[in-house]
Each structure stands twice: as structure tokens, then as C-alpha cells.
Structure 1
Amino acid sequence: MRTHGTPRFAGLRLLAAVMALVTFVLPARHASASDGGQYTMQEIVDAGHTFFGSTTGGLAKVVEKAFEQFGLPNGYILGQEGSGAFIAGLTYGEGQLNTKNAGQHEVFWQGPSLGIDYGGQGSRTMMLVYNLPSVDSLYSRLGGVSGSAYVVAGVGMTVMRNENVLVVPIRTGVGARLGLNVGYLKLTRAPTWNPF
């Protein structure tokens, strides 16, 4: 009888160690990678359906388009806005930023636009937020070409950017805004009437 270990069981111990690694460590790493403060498409669609209610016919398609182009967001804003334009226009809104790692924060936005644009609109708005390193970095001016929208079944998506932070507003609502307008949104911690 041997007392200093059996080589035939060494392979079984190695196999058991590898299986434990695969079973416990790798799934934990995968979960932390997908749960690293980012939202899945299903989480965003569910939040949108709850927020928009019955006007969400094209929401899933617009969200899918955003995910195809930009990936997983690490925040989203749910809010309401009002805007109007005849060549030049203004937009004012308020909502709540939702993040997995920094909680919920109130946010206000306002901004001018200039271009071939007329009409008025009151809408519920969901904004997907990408590459947000901190909540403070959201409060800035975001520029973009609003007329480069993707629209499906009364739900539209535009793209705005400031440095690395990307915000994708998804809107649905009453009224009509037609044409190409170039402007920006200024996101702030408190409401203000000054769009500049």
C-alpha cells in the first residue's frame, strides 16, 4: 500500500479542479461583464413599454436599431418634453436618468434648433445614454443633426453627442415636426428657461 499519493487519482483531481473553474468562475466573470452597469435590449424595451403605454408599436424596432448601431447603453432617461418651431424653435423637457451603478438622477433639457422645420410637439421621451463615465458628464451640451432620424410606426430616434458621451433620444407623441433641423440640447441639473 502506498502512503505518499496515488498518481492514478491525480488526473481525476485535475479534472475536478478544471470543472470547478468552468462551473463557478467563468459564469461569474460572464455575468459581471454583461451586468457591468449596462442595460440589455429587453430591459430597455420593458422600461419603454411601461413608460410609453399603448403608443409603443414601433418602440421595439427603434430600440433594436439603436442597439445594432451603438451597443448596450449604460443609462437611460425617461421624461416629457414640449417643443415648437417655425424656422427657429425651442425644446424644453424634464425626466429621470436611470443607471445601474449610480442610481436615479433628475435631469432637465432645453435647446434651440434652426432649419427647415415647423410645427409643435408634446412628447414622451426615452433617451439611451452611452459611454457615460459619471453622472456629472451628462450635464453638458449635446449637438447633432435631428433630421437624421429613424422613424417606425410613430416612434423616432435621433443621435446627439458631446465628446464620448452619446445620447439617443427616442420620441413618440402628439403633433408633427417636419424637416431637417440642426441644433443641440443642453442637459442641466435644474430647470432653466435659457436654452443657450
Structure 2
Amino acid sequence: MNHTRRALLASAMLLGAGFAVGPAAAQQNDRSFSQNELVSSGHQFFGNVSRGLALTIEEAVRRWGEPNGYVLGQEASGAFVGGLRYGEGTLFTRNAGDRKVYWQGPSVGFDFGGEGARTMMLVYNLPSVRALYQRFAGVDGSVYFVGGFGFTALAAEGVTIVPIRTGVGWRLGVNLGYLKFTPEATWNPF
């Protein structure tokens, strides 16, 4: 009986922990974007990489739930141990409309090469557009030989951004860095 009670208590705790950190914890209501909406928008934006995009969005939604915003844009980056990334796009939200945004940021790590990419960034727990204008830190890994596809996650003050990139170029490595979002273009990555 004592073992049964312990097993039930452990199961209840694990189940509760799963609900606290799983997709149910993400904001999912009429202000969020469904997986089908994201895939449809991504198909129009990315074009022929649709299958990889759908699988990547499916994995992101499984991990973090439905986002309450997303960005579609383009970026360029290069690195030789230290690197820089610059991009611009449009932030789409249900409650604040569409806004032009820019991002830039430095990185450092075992990272070499350059790339140009089309980017879709899923934005989670964004309380207002102003909350986007800050630095989002994270670890990024890239493997591009002519073309490539991948995603990572960046976080700051409860807001999570998941950039999904498809690009061309040659890039290999892992780096630590951040993206700084701004309402206007700037060359200053810091």
C-alpha cells in the first residue's frame, strides 16, 4: 500500500509539472495563431521549402504552444569566431496589428561562414509590441552548405522568440549571442 501511494503521488507530481511547463502553459486563445495559420503564412512566404517548414512549425508548437505573434522577414549574417546578424521584417499580431521591425546582434563561438536567410520568428507571451524592443539571448547552431533550414529559441523577460530560418550560403558552427529588436533600422548591433 505504501508503494502504491508513493507511485500515485509521484505520477500526480509529474503530471502537474508537465502541465506547468508544456504547451498548455503558453498563451492559447483568440489572440494566438494556430499551427495551420502559421504553416499557411509560411508556405506563402518561404515557397518551395514547405515540408520542412511545416515540420519545424509543428515541433515549435508542440514545445511552446501557439504564439501570439510572428515575424516574417529577411536577414544576413556572417562569422569568423565573432559574428554579426542583421534583419528586417514585419511583426504580425492579432491585437496590435502589423509593425515593421528590425533586428541585429553579435555572436561569439565556434562559428564560420555567411548566409542569407528568409526568417519566420514565432513570438510567445508578448504582452505588447514594446516588449519586443529588447535583447533576446540564446545559443544558435548552423550547418549550411549551399542551403539549409533550422530553428532555435531566444528568451528575455518571459517573452520567447523562435526564429525559423531557411537560407543560402556556407556556415558551420555553434555560437552564443543575442538579437536586439528595434522599431527603426540601425547598424549598431550592441
TM-score scaled to structure 1, two decimals? 0.79
1:144 to 125, 138, 141: 138
SS, match of residue 63 in structure 1: helix
- How far residue 34 of structure 1 moved from its aligned partner, in angstroms, is 5.9
SS, match of residue 171 in structure 2: coil
2:44 to 50, 75, 93: 50
Q: Matched residues, percent identical?
A: 58
2:182 to 175, 188, 192: 188
One-letter identity of the residue aligned with 1:61: L
User: How far apart, CA to CA, are the structure 1 residues paired with 2:59 and 2:132?
Assistant: 23
1:38 to 32, 39, 60: 32
2:74 aligns with 80
Query: Residue 34 and residue 109 in structure 1: after superposition, are their counterparts in 2 closer, same or farther (change >3 A)?
Result: closer
2:149 aligns with 155
Whether the 8 Å contact between 1:48 and 1:126 is mirrored in structure 2 is yes
User: How far apart, CA to CA, are the structure 2 residues paired with 1:91 and 1:154?
Assistant: 16
One-letter identity of the residue aligned with 2:137: G
Cα root mean square deviation, aligned: 1.7
User: How far apart, CA to CA, are the structure 1 residues paired with 2:149 and 2:39?
Assistant: 13
Count of aligned pairs between the two proteins: 161
Q: How does 1:106-117 map to 2 (within 5 A)?
A: 106-117=100-111
Q: How does 1:90-169 map to 2 (within 5 A)?
A: 90-147=84-141, 154-169=148-163
User: How far apart, CA to CA, are the structure 1 residues paired with 2:89 and 2:39?
Assistant: 18
- How far residue 36 of structure 1 moved from its aligned partner, in angstroms, is 2.2
User: How far apart, CA to CA, are the structure 2 residues paired with 1:107 and 1:68?
Assistant: 26
> After superposition, what is the alpha-carbon deviation per residue over 1:64-95, rounded to whole angstroms, capped at 9, x for unaligned?
11001000000000000000001011000000
TM-score scaled to structure 2, two decimals? 0.81
User: How far apart, CA to CA, are the structure 2 residues paired with 1:90 and 1:154?
Assistant: 18
SS, match of residue 177 in structure 1: strand
Q: Which is richer in strand? A: 2
Whether the 8 Å contact between 1:58 and 1:154 is mirrored in structure 2 is no
Q: Unmatched 5+ residue regions in structure 1?
A: 1-32
Whether the 8 Å contact between 2:142 and 2:150 is mirrored in structure 1 is no
Q: Unmatched 5+ residue regions in structure 2?
A: 1-26
> After superposition, what is the alpha-carbon deviation per residue over 1:23-70, rounded to whole angstroms, capped at 9, x for unaligned?
xxxxxxxxxx96521000000000000000113331111001100100
